Amino acid sequence: MAHCPSIDDVENNDWSPGSFIASEICSGLFWIYPCIYWEEENSQCEETESTMEFGRAFNAASIFLVFLLLVSVVTAKKSGNVAELQIGVKLKPKSCDLKAHKGDRVSVHYSGKLTDGTVFDSSYERNDPIDFELGSGQVIKGWDQGLLGMCVGEKRKLKIPAKLGYGESGSPPKIPGGATLIFDTELVAVNGKKSTSDSEL
């Protein structure tokens, strides 16, 4: 079996004759070294200018592609955007005698912001929770899905992707197209009933 040299081997010319076969291509993540032919009396593979140009071009293309991948990952992380709905429980009642189900009339306090921290709406500021029928499409899909099973008195943080929010068109002027939305929510009542039990973190 032919043996591929390491990068150090290639740079130091440190390999023996007979280690390669004709047209053998030795490759790694950022390395390709094609050997066109070898001679028994020589101590290394012969190479031509064209093979070295090919190797350099391959290396440069590989590095560029990996660079683009890393940039896209870092950009997505820094933007705070999410691809799927994320639900985080911030406060859970000791007991849960009332839960929100599809078709229930719920009352919810909320504060909504963009990933850069800009608050675009808040029922807390108005001291007026929103009332709607859960799961009937009266609110964005991220709410219809993210509030299911929530206990009265519970607080949740919802990170909602654009596809479950306002989509690519957004809701101008406060919500741009393709925006991930972050909501701090609190379930106040279900079908007009409020919980009187104590809550804990």
Residues taking part in catalysis? 110, 120-121, 140, 166, 183
**Terminal CA-to-CA distance of the chain, rounded, Å?**
63
Residue 151 C-alpha from the chain's centroid: 29
Tell me the C-alpha to C-alpha distance, in Å, between residue 115 and each of 77, 88, 119, 147, 175.
Answer: 11, 16, 9, 20, 11
What residue spans of the chain are helical by DSSP H?
7-12, 49-79, 123-126, 141-146
- Nearest Cα to 160, choosing from 131, 139, 174? 139
Q: Which H or E run contains 91?
A: strand 86-93
Cα separation, 169 vs 176, in Å, equals 7
Cα separation, 79 vs 105, in Å, equals 35
